[in-house]
């Protein structure tokens, strides 16, 4: 309807947390991922870089996306990045149609490692996870941590620390 105005109940906050999460557009994982970022990584607020294949573009060095990522890192002074890949990713299945599920996961983990190295070179703290489905729930497998001291100061917890 023309002129209609809808007001969000989320209060506006004019500041940046320095957090960024990069994950795949796949709606089957998106809701659980956002919950995970808030509940388990303490990212109550974070910038989102959501694109098909998630962090794949970093390892694959896709110029237009890498350029936007760099702009974001600089403009919002990003200090902490969470990278999340997921099983049954349509982007990877399309890129590598001949690979089995376990080979695809290996490729995704390799790409995450490359992305981590590139981001760490910029002095950013990075952690990475692989999301998979288990009994109708999404489970996030930790692949790498950021530095331990940062972990504690952010009040992060993991199953092993409980
Ligand atoms: Zn995907």
Residue 152 CA to ligand 1 centre (angstroms): 30
The predicted pLDDT at position 154 comes to 54
Q: At 20, phi and psi to the nearest 5?
A: -140, 135
pLDDT for the residue numbered 161: 39
Strand ranges in 87-146 using DSSP code E only, listed in sequence order? 125-134, 137-144
Distance 100 CA to ligand 1 centre (A): 16
Residue 75's pLDDT is what? 97
**Residue that is written with structure tokens 């080979």 in the block:** 103
- Signed CA dihedral, 20, 22, 23, 27: sign only: positive
Question: Which residues, at least 6 apart from 23, have a Cβ–Cβ distance to it below 8 Å?
Answer: 29, 30, 33, 48, 49, 50, 54, 55, 83, 84, 85, 86
Residue 5's pLDDT is what?
Answer: 96
Q: How close is the Cα of 92 to the center of ligand 1, in Å?
A: 7
Q: pLDDT digit of tens for each residue in the chain (162 aa)?
A: 789 999 999 999 999 999 999 999 999 999 999 999 999 999 999 999 999 999 999 999 999 999 999 999 999 999 999 999 999 999 999 999 999 999 999 999 999 999 999 999 999 999 999 999 999 999 999 998 775 445 445 555 444 433
Q: If you measure from the C-alpha of residue 135 to the centroid of ligand 1, how many angstroms do you get, rounded to a whole number?
A: 19
Going from the Cα of 119 to the center of ligand 1, the distance in angstroms, rounded, reads 21
Mind listing the domains of the chain with CATH numbers?
Answer: 19-148 (3.40.1050.10)
How many A from CA of 8 to the centre of ligand 1?
A: 29
Determine the distance separating the centroid of ligand 1 and the alpha carbon of 5, expressed in angstroms.
Answer: 34
**What separation in Å is there between the alpha carbon of 88 and the centre of ligand 1?**
7
């Amino acid at each position: 309807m023309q002129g209609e105005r809808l007001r969000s109940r989320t209060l506006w906050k004019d500041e940046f947390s320095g957090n960024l999460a990069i994950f795949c557009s796949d709606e089957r994982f998106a809701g659980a991922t956002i919950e995970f970022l808030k509940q388990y990584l303490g990212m109550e607020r974070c910038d989102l870089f959501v694109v098909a294949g998630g962090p794949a573009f970093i390892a694959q060095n896709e110029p237009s996306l890498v350029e936007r990522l760099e702009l974001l890192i600089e403009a919002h002074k990003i200090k902490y990045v969470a990278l999340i890949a997921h099983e049954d990713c349509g982007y990877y299945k399309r890129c590598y149609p001949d690979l089995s599920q376990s080979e695809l996961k290996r490729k995704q983990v390799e790409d995450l490692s490359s992305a981590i190295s590139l981001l760490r070179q910029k002095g950013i703290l990075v952690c990475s996870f692989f999301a998979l489905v288990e009994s109708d729930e999404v489970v996030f497998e930790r692949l790498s941590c950021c530095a331990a001291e940062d972990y504690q100061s952010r009040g992060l917890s993991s199953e092993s620390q409980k």
